[in-house]
Structure 1
Amino acid sequence: MAALEDINVTTLKGVGSALAGTLAKLGIHSLQDLLFHLPHRYEDRTRIIPIGSLHVGDVGVVEGEVVKSDLVMGRRRSLQVTVRDSSGFLVLRFFHFNASQKNQLSEGARIRCFGEVRPGRAGFEFYHPEYQVNPPPMPAPERATLTPVYPLTEGIQQPRVRSLCQQALHYLDRYPVKEWLPDALLADFQMPGINEALRLVHAPPAGAPVPALLEGRHPAQQRLVMEELLAHQLSLLRVREQIQSREALALLPRGDLPDRFRDQLPFQLTQAQERVLLDIRQDLSQPLPMLRLVQGDVGSGKTVVAALAALQAISSGAQVALMAPTEILAEQHYLNFQGWFEPLGLEPAWLSGKVKGKVRQATLERVASGDARIVIGTHALFQDDVAFDRLALVIVDEQHRFGVHQRLALREKGAAGSLAPHQLIMTATPIPRTLAMSAYADLDTSLIDELPPGRKPIETIAIADARRDEVISRVEDACRAGRQAYWVCTLIEESEALQCQAAEVTAEDLRERLPDLKVGLVHGRLKAQEKAGIMQQFKDGILDLLVATTVIEVGVDVPNASLIIIENPERLGLAQLHQLRGRVGRGHEASFCVLMYHPPLSQNGKARLQVLRDSQDGFVIAEKDLEIRGPGEVLGTRQTGMMQFRLADFERDKGWIPVVREAAPSLMGDRQRVEALIRRWLGERIRYGDV
């Protein structure tokens, strides 16, 4: 018997090749795809609202008589239709309309329409509402149903998608969707079957609990949420399985390089660092590729851990690649590793997009011959012309800035082409536990949950930008007392040029107002050497104050800096603010972070700044960030193929994460089930696991 996934959408009435092409942009090719194109919300069109009781922002149904219909020639020609009921007037405005619509909406017509209230020149308005002329009577309350709202793409409107989904539902009797969840799992949570759940979410029956459906908590929605989260979990476990199906070089600790490195460090490693190193040492000693995520708050010492992992690989005769998402962070790693490794007789190689010509060629030769034991750079390490001699360990910093597929691309550069490199992923962006369990299901996780001794908490203060003079005077006092300060400029525009310009203007202003201080400036448009030179001057204490864009978010370590001013903090995420704050508090002096905001702050803005003032714990802050901004923002938008859920909502549905995490491994042996679930929910996006 044919299955719904084999029946093309062109089977449906009114779907020709053009509409099929539009649907394909939404990932819809078959009738099954259409049924899994789920409503992301519902509209309550079950009651008529009196026009006189409407407020701006209300969404609802009104009904009345057309008392006026005019063509208005403003900046854009529009059709303006005035509707009246017994309580008041409302204007419907259409910028796109045809002659038949104009005739339909003539004076005296009875009309029911649905829209969102906006303020307009003539009072309250609906823009392009959905409407019916001479509508049938409204159904009785006990027979009324909610209206589903679907994700759209250019070229198709909401009523069309609704109609197609309703058509597809008629096929379910003859071609039921296959149930892939184990019976025991369905029974444990008393969940409806897949077909029952699909019918209910596309066409909620009369009397279905409206609040539960509007909040996404109805058992039918939760049944689908659970399956979607399970499919994501399985897709990542399959990525892990694919990587670990290849052998890796067993990197057994040899020689005295790690001991010599430890001897030159001016500090002892913390117990947390030693614990994580033990995990890594055991992983690297196996002929199975290590897949380990090391999370640690700002300043917890992840880079030292990475260096010791690199030395284990190098002392086993292998090569290491260390990759960072930005030029400035990669440079910072390069300078650190150069300082640490050159006394040991190892010269790191540097490779970024800006390394060109003969220098690049010479570096590529060093890497290919194996002369360069460790190569540090940006995503330039992915490029085809980069060939390694015996790559056995890849260290990726700030993984969430890369897509999963980019990390996978490096596995092809492993030793001898057939051996997969070990992978050590580091992040200073604390990832809430529930998010890590789902987003990084393919990785083992280690946590550096201890800061080096002697670190003092940073006092965080929020001040309106009207008090800028006070803040400048505070900077002057700190620098006169022999300490150093950062001044971070943030701009809402994405343009790097504008950000740099704002930083230049601020630096000039501060130089004029603080003539006795030496003020430096770094931004993303400076050449790598210039940036490194200015950072070094700041590190050496030659500069008192460093004005910067958010390029200094990660990797900069100046123990004498005890004050950071962050302008317009309301424009940044909590995790990024926490990272920036972590630039101070690295010495033994009391340190301060001043958040200089532009009033008025929204309720949300106030809540976010309060979280920073109340907590120094990156994980608490990350949890709040997740609540406020959602997983896509917390992880970074480049996490391709991840977190683009159809129905699941991370904050609302995080209770399912431990359930799917426990259930997924036992299903991995059933290839057919795994493939079917991944294909059903991730569709074409499953390719990210096969790069």
Structure 2
Amino acid sequence: MGIKTELLTGSTKAKDKKQIVKELAKGEIDILIGTHAIFQSGVDFDRLGLTIIDEQHRFGVHQRFSMLEKGGKEQLSPHQLIMTATPIPRTLAMTVYGSLETSVIDELPPGRNPVQTSSRPDSLRDKVIKRVEEVCLTGKRAYWVCTLIEDSEELEAQSAEELFKEISQSLPKLKVGLVHGRLKKDEKDSVIEKFRKGDIQLLVCTTVIEVGVDVPDATLMIIENPERLGLSQLHQLRGRVGRKANTESHCLLLYKEPLSGMAEERIKTMEMTNDGFQIAEKDLELRGAGDIYGIRQSGLMDLKIANPIRDSELLVEAQDEALELSRNETEFAETLVKRWIGNRVDYSES
């Protein structure tokens, strides 16, 4: 096709990176695919016209904003396409306010069924372990997700390493694997590949498997201490199961009592829906939208009276009024912008 494509990641060798950066600045690379390495200073484009950011919730506002400043020598303002299964509160609020245009894919691929989600207290752990064994012995595979790699004196949470030892001893009939962020890439890839082939039936892991892991035969996920995770991350993790057509999949949230009011709300939301936008709306309600013009991605907004969820029906009318003001009453519009943003950097387009 005559399109030159390159890959830039943190593990790219220094010599190769230097060559890629050189060709990029000259405009000799048409498409650059990469990780956080693309955000680094010194990685400059000749004429950047479009940036596509996948798994948007894994990037900070400043990182996304930095791509808008990499337009090259012609100082272009590149278009930006953001993709995510669960919009974080700030992004959802920007969508509601009209700062972003959205396209929504709200249906599952053909043949896929919604993941059935339920919750149980940690006191029922022995029954859960027994049920996992029964499922795996039928030929299916399961994830058991922990929020910690190793035991912590400060946090009361199940660690992946301890659980791996416990499960390996309790269920000798099962082939159990362990994956976490401290393993080398080759080690992680090897374990996940064995899990994919069925050589490992139960994968004990941390949230490192949140994205980029596709094992259609995995139909069960246990998430330890879900009260320590946000709705967006819980939904992303759950997306690792339910990937095989015409197959029922389950996600069990194994929580430690007592639950806080907010944790209970998050767990109820996960049990009630598989819809990413509904989950994001609940996250917006619980955590707040953050700072539309700043870098906080959650938290309460600087609003005295308005509520973006309660007053959602007024937002279209408000946006029309704002556009009318910007066209016909420029001076007044600038006064309002100054009132809200002041001398801060405006991140509202990031």
After TM superposition, is the score higher than 0.5?
yes
Change (3 A) 1:562 1:502: same
CA distance in 1, matches of 2:332, 2:298: 20
CA distance in 2, matches of 1:472, 1:668: 61
Match of 1:525 in 2: 182
1:389 is displaced (CA, Å) by 4.8
1:437 to 88, 95, 103: 95
Q: What code does the residue aligned with 1:665 have? A: L
CA distance in 1, matches of 2:258, 2:61: 39
CA distance in 2, matches of 1:367, 1:688: 26
1:546 is displaced (CA, Å) by 1.8
CA distance in 2, matches of 1:520, 1:595: 20
The SS at the match of 2:113 is coil
Does structure 1 residue 619 correspond to structure 2 residue 277?
A: yes
Q: Is the 8 A contact 2:290 2:298 kept in 1?
A: no
CA distance in 1, matches of 2:347, 2:277: 28
Q: How does 1:344-359 map to 2 (within 5 A)?
A: 348-352=6-10, 354-355=11-12, 357-359=14-16
1:472 is displaced (CA, Å) by 1.4
Change (3 A) 1:372 1:643: farther
CA deviation profile, 1:147-203 (whole Å, cap 9, x unmatched): xxxxxxxxxxxxxxxxxxxxxxxxxxxxxxxxxxxxxxxxxxxxxxxxxxxxxxxxx
1:559 is displaced (CA, Å) by 0.8
1:682 is displaced (CA, Å) by 2.2
Q: Is the 8 A contact 1:437 1:661 kept in 2?
A: no
CA distance in 1, matches of 2:47, 2:121: 55
Does structure 1 residue 592 correspond to structure 2 residue 256?
A: no
Q: How does 1:156-167 map to 2 (within 5 A)?
A: none
CA deviation profile, 1:375-417 (whole Å, cap 9, x unmatched): 2333321222213355432111233444444323223333554
CA distance in 2, matches of 1:457, 1:627: 24
Match of 2:325 in 1: 667
Match of 1:685 in 2: 344
2:85 to 409, 418, 428: 428
How many corresponding residue pairs?
343
CA distance in 1, matches of 2:233, 2:256: 18
CA distance in 1, matches of 2:175, 2:24: 40
Q: Is the 8 A contact 1:391 1:415 kept in 2?
A: yes
Match of 1:676 in 2: 335
Q: Is the 8 A contact 1:487 1:565 kept in 2?
A: yes
Q: Which has more strand, going by share of residues?
A: 1
Q: Which runs of 5+ in 2 are unaligned?
A: none
Q: What code does the residue aligned with 2:267 have? A: L
Q: How does 1:468-617 map to 2 (within 5 A)?
A: 468-490=125-147, 502-588=159-245, 589-617=247-275
Q: Is the 8 A contact 1:557 1:583 kept in 2?
A: yes
Q: How does 1:203-242 map to 2 (within 5 A)?
A: none
Q: What code does the residue aligned with 1:394 have? A: T
Match of 2:286 in 1: 628
Q: Is the 8 A contact 2:287 2:299 kept in 1?
A: no
1:604 is displaced (CA, Å) by 4.3
Q: What code does the residue aligned with 2:339 have? A: R
Does structure 1 residue 387 correspond to structure 2 residue 34?
A: no
Change (3 A) 1:368 1:535: farther
Match of 1:413 in 2: 70
Change (3 A) 1:347 1:511: farther
CA deviation profile, 1:95-131 (whole Å, cap 9, x unmatched): xxxxxxxxxxxxxxxxxxxxxxxxxxxxxxxxxxxxx
1:506 is displaced (CA, Å) by 1.6
Q: What code does the residue aligned with 2:84 have? A: T
Change (3 A) 1:390 1:468: same
Match of 1:374 in 2: 31
CA distance in 2, matches of 1:531, 1:499: 26
Q: Percent identity at matched positions? A: 49
Q: What code does the residue aligned with 1:685 have? A: R
The SS at the match of 1:506 is helix
Q: How does 1:444-463 map to 2 (within 5 A)?
A: 444-463=101-120
Change (3 A) 1:376 1:530: farther
Q: Is the 8 A contact 1:347 1:372 kept in 2?
A: yes
CA distance in 2, matches of 1:532, 1:683: 49
Q: Is the 8 A contact 1:630 1:650 kept in 2?
A: no
CA distance in 2, matches of 1:569, 1:641: 19
Q: Is the 8 A contact 1:500 1:524 kept in 2?
A: no
Q: What code does the residue aligned with 2:275 have? A: D
Match of 1:71 in 2: none
Q: How does 1:192-341 map to 2 (within 5 A)?
A: 317=3
CA deviation profile, 1:42-95 (whole Å, cap 9, x unmatched): xxxxxxxxxxxxxxxxxxxxxxxxxxxxxxxxxxxxxxxxxxxxxxxxxxxxxx
The SS at the match of 1:490 is coil
- Greater relative contact order, per chain length (Cα 8 Å cut-off, separation 6+): 2
Q: Which has more helix, going by share of residues?
A: 1
Q: What code does the residue aligned with 2:15 have? A: K
CA deviation profile, 1:525-549 (whole Å, cap 9, x unmatched): 3334433343333333332222222
CA distance in 1, matches of 2:251, 2:132: 11
Q: Is the 8 A contact 2:92 2:280 kept in 1?
A: no
CA distance in 2, matches of 1:608, 1:501: 19
Q: Is the 8 A contact 1:456 1:590 kept in 2?
A: yes
Q: Is the 8 A contact 1:402 1:638 kept in 2?
A: no
Q: Is the 8 A contact 1:398 1:427 kept in 2?
A: yes
Q: Is the 8 A contact 2:179 2:204 kept in 1?
A: yes
Q: What code does the residue aligned with 1:681 have? A: W
CA distance in 2, matches of 1:690, 1:369: 27
Q: What code does the residue aligned with 1:628 have? A: L
1:500 is displaced (CA, Å) by 11
CA distance in 2, matches of 1:501, 1:363: 43
Change (3 A) 1:382 1:614: closer
CA deviation profile, 1:491-537 (whole Å, cap 9, x unmatched): 5x9x9x98999222222222222333332222233334433343333
Q: Is the 8 A contact 2:146 2:158 kept in 1?
A: no
The SS at the match of 1:445 is coil
Change (3 A) 1:499 1:663: farther
TM-score after normalising by structure 2: 0.82
1:585 is displaced (CA, Å) by 0.5
1:463 is displaced (CA, Å) by 1.2
1:582 is displaced (CA, Å) by 1.4
CA distance in 1, matches of 2:349, 2:227: 39
Does structure 1 residue 658 correspond to structure 2 residue 316?
A: yes
CA distance in 2, matches of 1:417, 1:537: 49
Q: Is the 8 A contact 2:47 2:76 kept in 1?
A: no
Q: Is the 8 A contact 2:146 2:224 kept in 1?
A: yes
Q: What code does the residue aligned with 2:333 have? A: V
The SS at the match of 1:595 is strand
Change (3 A) 1:641 1:431: closer
Q: What code does the residue aligned with 1:538 have? A: F
